[in-house]
Amino acid sequence: MLLGESFLMPTPGHSWDHLWIVISNPQNHAGTFIVVNLTTDLARAGKECSLDRGEHRWITQKCYVNFADALEITQEKEAHIQTLVACKKITMHDTLDVAILQKIIVAAKQSKALPVKFRKYL
């Protein structure tokens, strides 16, 4: 995967998918990178970074970047994701506009919710 790419991944125990976004460059860290998801649940995500309808094709209403649920994706985990993409359990989506991606990365660097161990990837 590449910086700025996004994908829809099912949420365990729910009937909906979250949009996940690659916010760090895998090429800079031996193939490991960080992804964050979007949610409309303000209480869950907080106000550190909000996105409005139209800032990405998937966004139909105001949503928030959920830094607390960020995931570290290793090469092995990415291979598993690619397997799930191939069998259509995960759906690749539009790459983010550079300005929107930068907005998220700036917020991630300042986020109190992003796990400290993930900051080295930004």
pLDDT (0 to 100) of residue 6: 97
**What CA–CA distance (Å, rounded) separates 99 from 8?**
21
Count CB atoms within 10 A of the CB of residue 12: 5
Per DSSP (E only), the strands in the chain are 6-10, 17-22, 33-39, 50-51, 63-73, 91-93
Q: pLDDT tens-digit profile of 55-95? A: 999 999 999 999 999 999 999 999 999 999 999 999 999 99
pLDDT (0 to 100) of residue 18: 87
Q: Which structural domains are found in the chain, ordered by start?
A: 6-113 (2.30.30)
Q: What is the mean pLDDT of residues 8-36?
A: 89
The CA-based diameter of the chain, rounded to the nearest angstrom, is 37
**What CA–CA distance (Å, rounded) separates 59 from 37?**
12
**Would you say the pTM of this structure is higher than 0.85?**
yes
